[in-house]
Amino acid sequence: MSKPVVLIAEELSPATVEALGPDFEIRHTDGADRSALLPAIADVDAILVRSATKVDAEAIAAANNLKVIARAGVGLDNVDVKAATQAGVMVVNAPTSNITSAAELAVGLLLATARNIAPANQALKNGEWKRSKYTGVELYEKTIGIVGLGRIGALVAQRLAPFGTELIAYDPYVSTARAAQLGVRSVSLDELLRKSDFITVHLPKTPETAGLIGDQALTKVKPTVQIINAARGGIVDEHALAVALKEGRVAGAGVDVFASEPCTDSPLFEFESVVVTPHLGASTAEAQEKAGVSVAKSVRLALAGELVPDAVNVKGGAIAEDVRPGIPLAEKLGRIFTALAGGAAAQLDVEVRGEIAAHDVKVLELAALKGVFADVVEEQVSYVNAPVIAADRGVEVRLVTNEDSPDYRNVVTVRGVMADGRTVSISGTLSGPKHIEKIVEVLGHDIEAFPSEHMAFFQYVDRPGMVGTVGRILGEADINIAGMQVSRDTRGGHALVAMTVDQAIPAPAMDNIVEAIGAEWGRTVDLDD
């Protein structure tokens, strides 16, 4: 029997090939050369790439036998995940390969800005000895604000603690107790902005975090603050930062990532007090080797038909056929739960009821956890690291199963007890032979809604005219309502609206709805990525 063929389309470490082992036929090509890539991919079982090879719909269509696309790194901008999924091709990456490198770069940028290393280096190379001009500041006894206390943020905290700093952090999805274990005090974003001498950002890029450190935030900081962004471009508004630097409201910055990349022209480049690097967060020999070895192991698992923890789309492995259709539903429920909760759960239950509870449904717990953290942590979330992320954030997780399900053949519930005592829950089921996904419960309200790319939820005191008000405001914002369900506990009691819309609802429209109907709260959910 011939060996499975693995195509390596870019230069990877020797350890990557060693990790694949002798069970595969290894081929090489220049993935950046389309004329070489397309014929080379025609009959391979797997392809390993970094960032230069574009595995788009055309390349996937040219691959007659392709089963796995492996990206030796974190980002997947060069892989058409949707086209791969439609073709039944698994996509894997290495979600934790670069976290140490990224944390160390952030600390390096922070030190470089504190001590004016970059401009002093350039001046000296230009023949100028300017000791007094480049006087810096110590980190000792300074307050460092960490925006995002996920795995990278936690590593940054661990590395900065020995400098004798006071560490504070803003992350509503990390418990106060977990932050304290890291030697960090949890604070609001406003307090962090006001008190920090240095601010370092470690959040994912989402609609909620884009521009988080922007015009308004930069009016609250100390004029001596130094701001570091080695996370994602656009979380720190580059234009707003440049204006604040020019006006003397910010002292300096260290920037590794930009809203548009590659970036070779930015207003930030004009400032001697700004250290910039070309997205070097994962650019270490160690990170590249970890990434290659990680995806090589995933390729081995995938081609052997085993469960691949780092798969980002098609799930493989020994999962019961009755359980497998519930995986994407559980992940969606997790993402919606997080949007509804708006913060970290102290305890999280994933409850599976019905016939499928007779099988091993651990994968549904993992899928739900993957969804819970997908939009609130900086790193890529997978089946491997989702439980670790939960533990790191002080969230106690339980899988609860019961073969008795009085209302539905099978139902999955994600239920969390929040730090403030609230209970947040959402349940879903699959309907009919086509396994149509349905949401059947939200916060204790019976509902029947279909998960879609763009959703919104509101809770208010039941009274006439509210549905019309919501429709009017969305109409004025040119947002079309695809479906709406209203549920109430009692007449005149609490009413809950679950709504699907054709496009994302802008924040001003949401604010208008909440105010107009006197809603206790309103949340948007976007599942389009």
Instruction: Report CA-CA distances (Å) from 402 to 323, 350, 414.
Output: 14, 11, 14
Q: Under a CB-based contact definition with an 8 Å cutoff, are residues 8 and 18 in contact? A: no
What is the rounded CA–CA span in Å between residue 95 and residue 290?
Answer: 10
* Phi–psi pair at 512, nearest 5 degrees: -65, -40
Q: Name the token pair of 133.
A: 């001009």
- 116 in the Ramachandran plot: left (φ > 0), alpha (ψ -120 to 50) or beta? left
Q: What is the spatial order of strands in the sheet that 423-431 belongs to? A: 396-402, 345-354, 410-418, 423-431, 436-442, 445-449
Active-site entry in 202, 279, 300, 353: 279
Instruction: Report CA-CA distances (Å) from 178 to 141, 173, 282, 346.
Output: 22, 10, 26, 10
Q: Under a CB-based contact definition with an 8 Å cutoff, are residues 273 and 114 in contact? A: no
Active-site entry in 25, 261, 403, 515: 261
Active-site entry in 151, 232, 300, 335: 232
In 384-527, alpha helices (H): 386-392, 466-476, 507-517
Instruction: Report CA-CA distances (Å) from 464 to 229, 471, 500.
Output: 48, 13, 21
Task: Supply the angle between the helices 151-160 and 99-114 in degrees, to the nearest 10.
Answer: 50
3-state secondary structure of 455: strand
Q: Name the token pair of 258.
A: 């930009």
Q: Name the token pair of 31.
A: 């993935």
What is the rounded CA–CA span in Å between residue 6 and residue 351?
Answer: 40
DSSP of 321-378, one letter per residue? Answer: TTTTTHHHHHHHHHHHHHHHH-S-EEEEEEEEEEGGGGS--HHHHHHHHHHHHHTTSS
What is the rounded CA–CA span in Å between residue 108 and residue 68?
Answer: 36
Q: Residue 510 corresponds to which amino acid? A: M
Which 8-state DSSP code applies to residue 279?
S
Q: Residue 72 corresponds to which amino acid? A: A
3-state secondary structure of 458: strand
Burial 170-181 (b: 16+ CB within 10 A, else e): bbebbbeebbee
Q: Under a CB-based contact definition with an 8 Å cutoff, are residues 255 and 232 in contact? A: no
Which 8-state DSSP code applies to residue 98?
T
Is 208 one of the catalytic residues? no
Residues involved in catalysis: 232, 261, 279
